[in-house]
Amino acid sequence: MGWSAAIDDYISFLRAEKSLSENSVSAYRTDMEKLRVYADSIGIEPESITHDHLQNFLAYLHDLGLNKRSQSRILSGVRGFYKYLLIEEVIDSDPTELIESPKIGRKLPEFLTIAEIDAMQTAIDLSKSDGHRNKAIIETLYSCGLRVSELVNLKLTELFFDDGYIRVIGKGNKERLVPIGHKAIRDINQYLQQRNDVNSRIDQEYKNIVFLNRWGRQLTREMVFTIIKKYAKLAGITKNISPHTLRHSFATHLVEGGADLRAVQEMLGHESIQTTEIYTHLDREYLRETILKFHPRK
Protein backbone atom coordinates (compact mmCIF):
# COMPACT_ATOMS: atom_id res chain seq x y z
CA MET A 1 0.00 0.00 0.00
CA GLY A 2 1.38 3.41 -1.00
CA TRP A 3 1.48 6.42 1.31
CA SER A 4 -1.32 8.39 -0.37
CA ALA A 5 -3.76 5.47 -0.23
CA ALA A 6 -2.78 4.54 3.34
CA ILE A 7 -3.19 8.10 4.63
CA ASP A 8 -6.50 8.57 2.78
CA ASP A 9 -7.84 5.34 4.28
CA TYR A 10 -6.71 6.37 7.77
CA ILE A 11 -8.35 9.79 7.42
CA SER A 12 -11.60 8.13 6.29
CA PHE A 13 -11.38 5.87 9.34
CA LEU A 14 -10.96 8.89 11.66
CA ARG A 15 -14.01 10.58 10.13
CA ALA A 16 -16.27 7.53 10.15
CA GLU A 17 -15.22 5.69 13.30
CA LYS A 18 -13.81 8.39 15.59
CA SER A 19 -16.27 11.19 14.66
CA LEU A 20 -13.45 13.76 14.74
CA SER A 21 -14.06 17.35 13.65
CA GLU A 22 -12.74 18.52 10.30
CA ASN A 23 -10.15 20.64 12.11
CA SER A 24 -8.80 17.57 13.91
CA VAL A 25 -8.87 15.46 10.75
CA SER A 26 -6.98 18.16 8.86
CA ALA A 27 -4.36 18.32 11.63
CA TYR A 28 -3.87 14.54 11.49
CA ARG A 29 -3.40 14.67 7.72
CA THR A 30 -0.81 17.46 8.04
CA ASP A 31 1.14 15.43 10.61
CA MET A 32 1.00 12.25 8.54
CA GLU A 33 2.24 14.15 5.50
CA LYS A 34 5.44 14.91 7.43
CA LEU A 35 6.00 11.18 7.87
CA ARG A 36 5.26 10.59 4.18
CA VAL A 37 7.80 13.23 3.09
CA TYR A 38 10.45 11.68 5.35
CA ALA A 39 9.65 8.13 4.18
CA ASP A 40 9.74 9.17 0.52
CA SER A 41 13.19 10.67 1.06
CA ILE A 42 14.54 7.26 2.09
CA GLY A 43 12.34 5.19 -0.23
CA ILE A 44 10.26 3.39 2.43
CA GLU A 45 6.60 2.34 2.10
CA PRO A 46 4.21 2.39 5.12
CA GLU A 47 4.37 -1.36 5.77
CA SER A 48 8.20 -1.39 5.69
CA ILE A 49 8.86 1.23 8.39
CA THR A 50 10.78 -0.03 11.41
CA HIS A 51 11.49 1.17 14.94
CA ASP A 52 14.84 2.60 13.78
CA HIS A 53 13.18 4.50 10.92
CA LEU A 54 10.81 6.15 13.38
CA GLN A 55 13.66 7.09 15.74
CA ASN A 56 15.34 8.78 12.79
CA PHE A 57 12.00 10.42 11.90
CA LEU A 58 11.93 12.06 15.35
CA ALA A 59 15.46 13.35 14.73
CA TYR A 60 14.23 14.66 11.36
CA LEU A 61 11.39 16.56 13.11
CA HIS A 62 13.92 18.05 15.51
CA ASP A 63 16.04 19.21 12.58
CA LEU A 64 12.93 20.87 11.12
CA GLY A 65 12.86 23.03 14.25
CA LEU A 66 9.75 21.46 15.81
CA ASN A 67 9.66 21.57 19.59
CA LYS A 68 9.18 18.48 21.77
CA ARG A 69 5.48 19.14 22.23
CA SER A 70 4.93 19.17 18.45
CA GLN A 71 7.10 16.07 18.03
CA SER A 72 5.07 14.27 20.68
CA ARG A 73 1.78 15.25 19.03
CA ILE A 74 2.96 14.03 15.62
CA LEU A 75 4.19 10.76 17.13
CA SER A 76 0.77 10.26 18.73
CA GLY A 77 -0.81 10.51 15.27
CA VAL A 78 1.74 8.09 13.83
CA ARG A 79 0.91 5.60 16.59
CA GLY A 80 -2.76 5.82 15.69
CA PHE A 81 -1.93 5.33 12.02
CA TYR A 82 0.03 2.13 12.65
CA LYS A 83 -2.59 0.75 15.04
CA TYR A 84 -5.05 1.24 12.19
CA LEU A 85 -2.75 -0.60 9.72
CA LEU A 86 -2.43 -3.42 12.27
CA ILE A 87 -6.23 -3.71 12.58
CA GLU A 88 -6.52 -3.76 8.78
CA GLU A 89 -3.81 -6.47 8.65
CA VAL A 90 -1.62 -4.36 6.38
CA ILE A 91 1.25 -4.98 8.87
CA ASP A 92 2.00 -7.86 11.25
CA SER A 93 3.57 -5.84 14.06
CA ASP A 94 3.44 -2.26 15.32
CA PRO A 95 6.76 -0.40 14.76
CA THR A 96 5.70 2.35 17.19
CA GLU A 97 5.29 -0.01 20.15
CA LEU A 98 8.70 0.65 21.75
CA ILE A 99 9.07 4.30 20.67
CA GLU A 100 9.22 6.71 23.62
CA SER A 101 7.65 10.13 23.31
CA PRO A 102 9.95 13.14 23.70
CA LYS A 103 10.06 14.29 27.32
CA ILE A 104 8.21 17.56 27.67
CA GLY A 105 7.59 19.73 30.66
CA ARG A 106 3.97 20.40 31.49
CA LYS A 107 3.18 24.05 30.85
CA LEU A 108 0.65 25.40 33.27
CA PRO A 109 -2.17 27.24 31.49
CA GLU A 110 -2.83 30.91 32.06
CA PHE A 111 -5.93 31.68 34.12
CA LEU A 112 -7.77 34.73 35.38
CA THR A 113 -8.71 35.77 38.88
CA ILE A 114 -12.37 36.35 39.73
CA ALA A 115 -11.59 40.08 39.96
CA GLU A 116 -10.17 40.05 36.41
CA ILE A 117 -13.25 38.28 35.05
CA ASP A 118 -15.48 40.80 36.81
CA ALA A 119 -13.37 43.63 35.35
CA MET A 120 -13.89 42.26 31.83
CA GLN A 121 -17.65 42.21 32.32
CA THR A 122 -17.66 45.67 33.87
CA ALA A 123 -15.87 46.95 30.74
CA ILE A 124 -18.84 45.95 28.56
CA ASP A 125 -21.11 48.79 27.43
CA LEU A 126 -24.58 47.27 27.92
CA SER A 127 -26.21 50.13 25.99
CA LYS A 128 -24.71 48.76 22.78
CA SER A 129 -26.60 46.18 20.74
CA ASP A 130 -24.03 43.44 21.38
CA GLY A 131 -23.44 44.31 25.05
CA HIS A 132 -25.71 41.75 26.72
CA ARG A 133 -24.63 39.08 24.25
CA ASN A 134 -20.94 39.62 25.00
CA LYS A 135 -21.57 39.63 28.75
CA ALA A 136 -23.47 36.33 28.42
CA ILE A 137 -20.64 34.85 26.33
CA ILE A 138 -17.99 35.65 28.94
CA GLU A 139 -20.16 34.41 31.81
CA THR A 140 -21.09 31.17 30.00
CA LEU A 141 -17.49 30.37 29.07
CA TYR A 142 -16.40 30.92 32.65
CA SER A 143 -19.39 29.54 34.58
CA CYS A 144 -19.71 26.36 32.51
CA GLY A 145 -16.07 25.82 31.43
CA LEU A 146 -16.99 25.47 27.77
CA ARG A 147 -14.66 25.15 24.82
CA VAL A 148 -15.19 27.93 22.28
CA SER A 149 -16.51 25.39 19.73
CA GLU A 150 -19.06 24.19 22.30
CA LEU A 151 -20.17 27.77 22.97
CA VAL A 152 -20.76 28.75 19.34
CA ASN A 153 -22.68 25.51 18.68
CA LEU A 154 -24.85 25.77 21.82
CA LYS A 155 -28.56 25.45 20.96
CA LEU A 156 -31.68 26.86 22.60
CA THR A 157 -33.02 23.30 22.89
CA GLU A 158 -29.96 22.40 24.97
CA LEU A 159 -30.75 24.96 27.69
CA PHE A 160 -32.55 23.43 30.67
CA PHE A 161 -32.62 26.43 32.98
CA ASP A 162 -35.47 25.13 35.17
CA ASP A 163 -33.30 22.12 36.02
CA GLY A 164 -30.08 24.18 36.27
CA TYR A 165 -27.99 22.59 33.52
CA ILE A 166 -27.15 22.72 29.82
CA ARG A 167 -26.42 19.91 27.40
CA VAL A 168 -23.03 20.25 25.69
CA ILE A 169 -21.80 18.38 22.63
CA GLY A 170 -18.03 18.09 23.01
CA LYS A 171 -15.15 16.47 21.17
CA GLY A 172 -16.05 13.36 19.19
CA ASN A 173 -19.76 14.30 19.48
CA LYS A 174 -19.69 13.22 23.12
CA GLU A 175 -22.57 14.62 25.12
CA ARG A 176 -22.33 15.84 28.70
CA LEU A 177 -24.57 17.72 31.11
CA VAL A 178 -23.02 20.79 32.74
CA PRO A 179 -24.54 22.70 35.68
CA ILE A 180 -25.22 26.38 34.99
CA GLY A 181 -25.43 29.03 37.71
CA HIS A 182 -28.03 31.73 38.30
CA LYS A 183 -25.77 34.53 37.02
CA ALA A 184 -25.14 32.82 33.68
CA ILE A 185 -28.88 32.02 33.35
CA ARG A 186 -29.75 35.66 34.06
CA ASP A 187 -27.17 36.98 31.56
CA ILE A 188 -28.29 34.58 28.82
CA ASN A 189 -31.97 35.43 29.39
CA GLN A 190 -31.24 39.16 29.21
CA TYR A 191 -29.40 38.59 25.92
CA LEU A 192 -32.20 36.40 24.55
CA GLN A 193 -34.73 39.19 25.12
CA GLN A 194 -32.63 41.41 22.81
CA ARG A 195 -32.04 38.52 20.41
CA ASN A 196 -35.81 37.99 20.08
CA ASP A 197 -36.30 41.68 19.31
CA VAL A 198 -34.42 41.14 16.02
CA ASN A 199 -36.04 37.75 15.40
CA SER A 200 -37.10 38.72 11.89
CA ARG A 201 -33.44 39.03 10.86
CA ILE A 202 -32.48 35.53 12.05
CA ASP A 203 -31.97 33.02 9.24
CA GLN A 204 -34.12 29.92 9.64
CA GLU A 205 -30.93 27.84 9.71
CA TYR A 206 -29.75 29.58 12.91
CA LYS A 207 -33.00 30.01 14.88
CA ASN A 208 -31.95 27.30 17.34
CA ILE A 209 -28.42 28.70 17.88
CA VAL A 210 -28.02 30.69 21.10
CA PHE A 211 -25.25 33.18 20.22
CA LEU A 212 -25.68 35.05 16.94
CA ASN A 213 -23.98 37.96 15.21
CA ARG A 214 -25.68 41.20 14.22
CA TRP A 215 -26.86 39.66 10.95
CA GLY A 216 -28.67 36.83 12.70
CA ARG A 217 -26.09 34.19 11.87
CA GLN A 218 -23.98 31.86 13.99
CA LEU A 219 -20.89 33.37 15.63
CA THR A 220 -17.53 32.05 14.49
CA ARG A 221 -14.82 30.91 16.89
CA GLU A 222 -12.64 33.75 15.59
CA MET A 223 -15.30 36.30 16.55
CA VAL A 224 -15.40 34.96 20.11
CA PHE A 225 -11.59 35.27 20.27
CA THR A 226 -11.92 38.91 19.18
CA ILE A 227 -14.57 39.60 21.84
CA ILE A 228 -12.47 38.13 24.66
CA LYS A 229 -9.32 39.97 23.56
CA LYS A 230 -11.26 43.25 23.32
CA TYR A 231 -12.62 43.19 26.86
CA ALA A 232 -9.40 41.89 28.37
CA LYS A 233 -7.65 44.92 26.90
CA LEU A 234 -10.37 47.30 28.11
CA ALA A 235 -10.09 45.77 31.59
CA GLY A 236 -6.33 46.41 31.61
CA ILE A 237 -5.44 42.71 31.66
CA THR A 238 -1.96 42.16 30.21
CA LYS A 239 -2.03 38.34 30.24
CA ASN A 240 -2.13 36.61 26.86
CA ILE A 241 -5.63 35.20 27.04
CA SER A 242 -8.20 33.53 24.79
CA PRO A 243 -11.65 31.97 25.30
CA HIS A 244 -9.85 28.86 26.57
CA THR A 245 -8.40 30.94 29.41
CA LEU A 246 -11.92 31.25 30.84
CA ARG A 247 -12.26 27.45 30.71
CA HIS A 248 -8.94 27.13 32.56
CA SER A 249 -10.16 29.68 35.11
CA PHE A 250 -13.38 27.70 35.66
CA ALA A 251 -11.40 24.52 36.41
CA THR A 252 -8.75 26.28 38.50
CA HIS A 253 -11.28 28.00 40.75
CA LEU A 254 -13.20 24.75 41.25
CA VAL A 255 -10.09 22.80 42.26
CA GLU A 256 -8.89 25.71 44.39
CA GLY A 257 -12.24 25.66 46.19
CA GLY A 258 -11.91 21.97 46.98
CA ALA A 259 -14.01 20.41 44.19
CA ASP A 260 -13.59 16.67 43.55
CA LEU A 261 -11.23 16.16 40.59
CA ARG A 262 -13.48 13.50 39.02
CA ALA A 263 -16.39 15.95 39.07
CA VAL A 264 -14.23 18.61 37.38
CA GLN A 265 -13.16 16.03 34.78
CA GLU A 266 -16.83 15.25 34.07
CA MET A 267 -17.79 18.92 33.69
CA LEU A 268 -14.85 19.66 31.40
CA GLY A 269 -15.48 16.58 29.28
CA HIS A 270 -11.90 15.32 29.67
CA GLU A 271 -11.47 11.72 28.56
CA SER A 272 -8.53 11.18 30.93
CA ILE A 273 -8.20 12.27 34.56
CA GLN A 274 -4.52 13.03 33.82
CA THR A 275 -5.61 15.99 31.68
CA THR A 276 -7.61 17.37 34.60
CA GLU A 277 -4.81 16.83 37.13
CA ILE A 278 -2.89 19.81 35.77
CA TYR A 279 -5.27 22.06 37.69
CA THR A 280 -4.04 20.67 41.00
CA HIS A 281 -0.70 22.40 40.34
CA LEU A 282 -1.98 25.84 39.44
CA ASP A 283 -2.44 27.76 42.66
CA ARG A 284 0.44 26.96 44.97
CA GLU A 285 0.01 30.33 46.64
CA TYR A 286 -3.49 29.31 47.67
CA LEU A 287 -2.09 26.15 49.26
CA ARG A 288 0.62 28.15 51.01
CA GLU A 289 -1.94 30.55 52.47
CA THR A 290 -4.07 27.61 53.65
CA ILE A 291 -1.11 26.10 55.51
CA LEU A 292 -0.20 29.43 57.10
CA LYS A 293 -3.79 29.89 58.22
CA PHE A 294 -4.53 26.45 59.64
CA HIS A 295 -1.32 24.53 60.40
CA PRO A 296 -0.32 24.57 64.13
CA ARG A 297 3.38 24.88 63.26
CA LYS A 298 3.01 27.89 60.98
Domains of the chain, start order: 3-87 (1.10.150), 114-290 (1.10.443.10)
pLDDT at 99: 83
Percent over 90 (pLDDT), the chain = 46
pLDDT at 179: 93
Q: Sorting pLDDT into bands at 50, 70 and 90, what band is 148?
A: very high
pLDDT at 174: 87
Q: Strand, helix or coil at 249? A: helix
208 versus 277: the higher-pLDDT residue is 208
Smallest CA-to-CA distance from 34 within 62, 69, 12, 9 is with 62
DSSP code string of 9-26: HHHHHHHHHH---HHHHH
Q: Strand, helix or coil at 155? A: strand
pLDDT in tens, 176-221: 999 999 999 999 999 998 887 655 577 788 899 999 998 888 999 9
pLDDT at 287: 55
Exposed e or buried b for every residue in 223-262, given b needs 16+ CB within 10 A?
A: ebeebbeebbeebebeeebbbbbbbbbbbbbbbbeeeebe
Q: Sorting pLDDT into bands at 50, 70 and 90, what band is 284?
A: low
Q: Taking residues 24-40, report their average pLDDT.
A: 90
Decide if 164 contacts 180 (C-beta within 8 A). yes
Q: pTM of the full predicted structure?
A: 0.63
Decide if 246 contacts 138 (C-beta within 8 A). yes
pLDDT in tens, 228-240: 999 999 999 998 8
Residue 297 has pLDDT above 90, yes or no: no
pLDDT at 100: 80
The residues carrying an active-site annotation are 147, 171, 244, 247, 270, 279
